[in-house]
Every structure is written in structure tokens, then in C-alpha cells.
Amino acid sequence: MIYLLFSILFSTSLFVIFKYFDIYKIDTLKAIVVNYLVAFGLGFGLSEITFSITEIPEKSWFFGAIILGALFVSIFFVMANTAQQNGVSVASVAGKMSVVIPVLFGVLLYDESVTFFKIVGILIALVSVYLASVKEKESNLQKAGLLFPILLFFGSGAIDTILKYVEVNFVPANEVALFSGSLFGFAAIFGLLILLVKTIQKREPFGFKNVMAGIILGVPNYFTIVFLIKALQTSGFESSTLFTINNVSVVVVSTLIGLLLFKEKFSLKNKIGVALAIIGIVLVTIA
């Protein structure tokens, strides 16, 4: 339970940190690159086994770490933009409602059970992302307003699906830190490549505040993944129950923080969307 609690706290903190990035005018891409370098260093520094860098390509989870690394840097950037443009609560709803995607893959690929409540939960999930994201006082829905929440929804779902598959089939309990550090390392490499292209197009100083912001982001980002994997590996804890508690808690806490700390404005549609998100998560993961 302690691993799950820490995963919830660290996961929620990411949305809050991204919101502060916007307030303090942090270059999100630069901070994300530094963040992954920090997470990479923590993963290798806290590894529970002795290893050599040359051994990593031989690990059974190596290619899974590459794929996840590419997805991580892409979706992290999307998450940042969602939190900054749409709000902390919208980002948490779009990200955490993505739990329906691994559930769908479980039904389609692994012949898992299909129940009435599970189908209803999936439909509610899709509706909730829209309602929580849509802005009032718009004559027409602005594509930019919904683009990032939708991308975050599907991207987070892809990450959860692949992470669960790799963790179950290829990651031994004593290699969690090494695996996490490796996927963060690949994310850093992809991020550096993107940053290099941008630097060639427009040269500008990196900025000390961007480095500090990346360090502040990197520590909770690393521990979010580590504690989630450790929680999944805890015996006697069903993954459906774990994901329910984790995702609902992050949505609720992020919404409260958005209201109390950032004074985010919620329309009736947004409130209904957040409420449906909680209901949808419960139905999908428990049904």
C-alpha cells in the first residue's frame, strides 16, 4: 500500500509542476530533457544489482525500454501543454482515464471478460475527457483546446499498456531501478535529438532556471514509475484494484489542487466530466 500511496503523490505532483512551468515561463522541452537525465541517473545510481552498461542491450526488456522512452518524452511534452493550456484537472482526467485502453487491449488480445459495466465505463471515459476539456464561451470548439487532452488520453493509454506488458513478461523484481533508468535514458536521448534540431534552427542560451526546473521534475518523475511498478509487483494486490485506487486518487487530488491552489474555473460541463471520470475508472477496472 505504501508504494501505491507514493505513486499517487508523485504522479499528482507532476501535473502541479507543469502548471508552475507556465507561471514561471520555463522552457518545457529543455526542462523535460534535464528531467530525463536526472531520472536516468537516479535509476542507474539506485540499481539493486551490479551491472555493466554493455550488458543492457542483452536484457530482455531492452527494446521495450526504447519504445517507452520515445513515448515518454512525447507524451510528457503533451502532458505539460495540457496542464498549462487546459488546467491541472483536465490533464489528470485525460491522462488517468486512459486506463480504458489497456483494458480494451486485454479484452481484444487476451480474451479477458467483457461485462456490461465495463462497456459502460469505456463509453463514460470517452465522454468525460471531452466534457472535462471543453471550454465555455466558445461559439465553436477550438481544435487546439481538445487536441492535447485527446493526445494525452491515447498516449498515456499506450504507455500503460506497453509498460504493463514489459513489466509482467520481462522485468525481474531486482531490475526495476535499472529498467526504469534505461527507459528514462532513452527518453533523454530522444529529447536531446529534438532539442538539437531546435538549437540548430534557433540558437539561444539553455538557461539556469530550465536546468533547476528539470531537476525538480526529474526526481518525482522517476519515483512515480518505480513505485507504480513495485506496487504492481506486490503480491496479493490485483492490478485492477490498484489502477482504480491510483487513477481515481490522482484525478480527485489534482482537481482539488486545481481549484484551491490555482483557482481554476470549472463550468458545469467540466464538473460533470470530472465526476464521470471517477465513475468510469471504477466501472472499467472493477467490472
Q: Cell for 62?
A: 531492452
Report whether 233 contacts 51 (CB < 8 A): no
The yes-or-no verdict on residue 79 having pLDDT over 60 is yes
Sequence spans of domains, the chain: 2-286
Mean pLDDT of the 1-22 span: 90
Q: Which of these ranges, 7-16, 28-37, 94-103, 175-184, has the smallest mean pLDDT? A: 94-103
* pLDDT tens-place string over residues 212-246: 999 999 999 999 988 988 887 776 656 666 777 78
Mean pLDDT of the 65-71 span: 94
Greater confidence (234 vs 279) lies with 279
* Cα 256 from chain centroid (whole Å): 19
Residue 235: the pLDDT is 63
Residue closest to 16 by CA, chosen among 72, 88, 82: 88
Mean pLDDT of the 17-45 span: 92
Question: What is the separation, in whole angstroms, between the first and last Cα of the chain?
Answer: 22
Mean pLDDT of the 238-255 span: 76
How many Å apart are CA 170 and CA 166, to the nearest integer? 5
- For 110, 146, 248, 275, the CA distances from 215, given in Å and listed in that order, are 40, 30, 27, 34
The per-residue pLDDT of the chain, averaged, comes to: 84
Mapped onto helix, strand or coil, the DSSP state of residue 210 is: helix
Q: Torsion angle, CA of 285/64/218/202, rounded to 10 degrees?
A: -120
Exposure on the CB side of residue 132, measured as CA atoms within 13 A: 34
Mean pLDDT of the 5-18 span: 92
Q: Cell for 207?
A: 538557461
**In residues, how long is the chain?**
287
The yes-or-no verdict on residue 140 having pLDDT over 60 is no
* Cα 226 from chain centroid (whole Å): 13
Angle separating helix axes 2-23 and 88-96, nearest 10 degrees: 140
Report whether 185 contacts 69 (CB < 8 A): yes
How many Å apart are CA 227 and CA 215, to the nearest integer? 19
